[in-house]
Amino acid sequence: MTTLRTGVKFLLRLGANILAFPLLLNYWLKALFVGKDRALEGSTQALALWPGLIGQYVRRAFLAWTLDECDPSATICFGTIFSKCECRIGPKVYIGPYCSLGSAHIEQDVLIATAVQIPSGGRMHGIDDLTRPIREQPGVWSIVKIGAGSWIGSNAVVMADVGQNTVIAAGAVVTKPIPDWVIAGGVPARIIKYRKSPETQTGQNEQGPEKE
């Protein structure tokens, strides 16, 4: 049974690569004129509309060629788009429907729920020069890391690193790094509860969760 299942998965992945090939050709041609990141965003908008299991396989095949990393065991659901080729998706990652990812490094076993946004940091648009429109001011792109085993709830916006085995509540806005083994929520997100005793966690705030 295991051998049969492995064979079926191999055939599905082979078929997905064949289906993805025309899309890859289109991406490579567009990248020559508009750059890899803009070409990626446009291509993943189209790929996001492929429904069901076939869509998951084709998206994964395409992203394995275009992102810095997309593990064969990852799941990327309907409606999810990518805007930066330096994104990394580790083993057994689940990315739910209608998500938007920029320069993100998603470590293994991470769960990302519906409509989560992980942009390329929190300073993508400059605002300091009051004499110029915000759209004309340079921003700073940074890589946002989601630690292994973490769970990001629906509609969260994550603009800073999240530690390992941490839970980010639905609707939270992460503007500062969140450590390992905690539950965080709110706007802006703050520690609500420790999943482990703070004394057992290296580098934790010894005063415990933040107070209102």
Q: What is the pLDDT of residues 106-120, one digit of tens each?
A: 999 999 999 999 999
Determine the pLDDT at residue 206. 39
Annotated active-site residue 125? The verdict is yes
* Active-site option among 25, 29, 46, 125: 125
Determine the pLDDT at residue 4. 66
Q: What is the pLDDT of residues 148-195, one digit of tens each?
A: 999 999 999 999 999 999 999 999 999 999 999 999 999 999 999 999
Write out the DSSP string of the chain.
-HHHHHHHHHHHHHHHHHHHHHHHHHHHHHHHHH-HHHHHHHHHHHHTT--HHHHHHHHHHHHHHHSSEE-TT-EE-TT-EE--TT-EE-TT-EE-TT-EESSEEE-TT-EE-TT-EE-S-SBSS----TTS-GGGS--B---EEE-TT-EE-TT-EE-S-B-TT-EE-TT-EE-S-B-SSEEEETTTTEEEEESS-GGGSTT--TT-SPP-
pTM summary value: 0.86
Determine the pLDDT at residue 200. 62
Please report the domains of the chain, with CATH numbers, ordered by start residue.
67-200 (2.160.10.10)
Q: Please list the ranges in the chain whose pLDDT falls under 50.
A: 204-212
Determine the pLDDT at residue 55. 92
